[in-house]
Amino acid sequence: MEQFEEHPSRFAQIFIDEPLRKFLYENEITSDNYQQHETALRKLFPDEEHYLEFTRAYLGNTGIISYRQFLKPPQKIDLFLHPRYIQQKPHIHDFYEIKYLLKGSGTVHIASDLIFLKESELCLISPYVPHSSEIYSDDAVMVNLVLPSEHLQHLLPRVLSYSNPLERYFSGDSSLSANQHFLCCSTRHDAAIEALISSMLDYYSDQKNRTVSGNLMTEAALEQVFLRILALYLPEEEKEKILSHDKQVLSDITAYIREHLQDVSLSDISELLHFSPAYTSRMIKKKTGYTFQTLLLILRMEKAAELLKKTDWPVEQIAAEVGLSGKTNFYRQFKTFYGMNPAVFRLSE
C-alpha cells in the first residue's frame, strides 16, 4: 500500500476528524479537564448538537465493548486503522485485540503495564483486560485486528494444533511471561507479514465489496501471519522475544503507588525519584501517556477489582483500602472504569 489513510466511516463513533484529535492532544485536553476549555472547544463544532455528541461519545464511558456490536456473520474477524491523536481512556472488550505497527511508533497500556511499540512490532491483548493505545505522529500507522475467542479454532487450526508460544498464550498457559494479559513480539520487518496485513487492511477497508471467498482468504492470511511469526523464532529464543519496556522508573513508580494507594501523592513520587513535582508530572505523562491522577486511578481500580473477587469485604472497606473516600464516589469511579457497578462485578465470572 502506497499510503495509509483513515476511513472516516470506520470511526463514526468518534465524531471527530484527525485535525481535531491533534488539537486535543497538543492542548492536553482530556475527559478530566475539557470543561475548562469548553469555550474554545465549542468553536470547533458547527452547532451545539455536534458538540454534545462529541462529549458523549469521545469523553463518555462506553462500558464493555463486544465484537457482536460490529462484527456481522459470517465475518469472524475485523481489521482497521487505529485513529491517530486519540487520548483513550482505559476500556475493556470481550475479544482478543492485535496491535501491529505498520509504520512509526506508538504506546499500548495494558492494565498497569506500558508497552512501547516500534515499526513491525505486534502485541496481542487478552479479553477483559483494561487497556488503551495511542499514536501521536502524522506518519504512524497502527493496525487493529479483532479476534473473537469463540472463532480461534476456526481461524487458527494449524497454529493451535501443536505446542508453541502462541498456542500456550491462547490457551492461557503461556511460559513466555509471568503476565498472561498480553503477548508482544517483533516481526523483524518481515516483508511477507507486512504484505499479508496490508492485503487484509485493503479488503476490510472496502465495506461494500465483501464476499464469502474474500472473508475466507483474509482469514487464511491471518493464520499465515501467525505461522510466519512462529517461523521467525527458535525455541531457545522464545523468552527473549517479549518486548522489553521501561522496567526501572515505571516499576518503581507503580510499586510505590500500589504500596501507598490510600494516601500517595505526586510529591511522594517526586521525592522517591529525586525530581521536582513539575518534572515528575511531565515524565509520568510522557512515559505512560497518563497523568499521575489517571495512573493512580487505574492502579486503585485494579486493586479494588482484586479485593472484590478475593474477599468478602464490604464495598465501603474496599473503597477505603484503595484510597477512594465515600461509597458514592467509589461506585461512580468503578462503574466508569469497568462498565458495571462493584456488586455486579463481584458476581461476574
Domain that residue 259 falls in: 249-347
- Name the grid cell of 270: 517526586
Q: Report whether 292 contacts 266 (CB < 8 A).
A: yes
C-alpha separations of 176 from 63, 161, 183, 235, 241 in Å: 30, 18, 8, 11, 8
Let me know if residue 189 belongs to a domain.
yes
Q: Report whether 157 contacts 224 (CB < 8 A).
A: no
Which of 217, 241, 265 represents a domain boundary (last residue)? 241
Q: What is the pTM of this model?
A: 0.56
Both 136 and 169 in one domain: the answer is yes
Reported as a pLDDT band with limits 50, 70 and 90, residue 176 is: very low
β-strand partners of 268: none
Let me know if residue 49 belongs to a domain.
no
Burial per residue of 235-267, b for 16 or more beta-carbon CB atoms within 10 angstroms, e otherwise: eeebeebbbebeeeebeebbeebeeebeebebe
Let me know if residue 255 belongs to a domain.
yes
Let me know if residue 113 belongs to a domain.
yes
Q: pLDDT, tens digit, for every residue of 256-311?
A: 898 999 999 998 988 887 777 887 887 787 777 788 888 898 899 989 989 998 99
Which CATH number does the domain housing residue 185 bear?
A: 2.60.120.280
pLDDT of residue 103: 92
Which CATH number does the domain housing residue 258 bear?
A: 1.10.10.60
Both 256 and 237 in one domain: the answer is no
Both 260 and 328 in one domain: the answer is yes
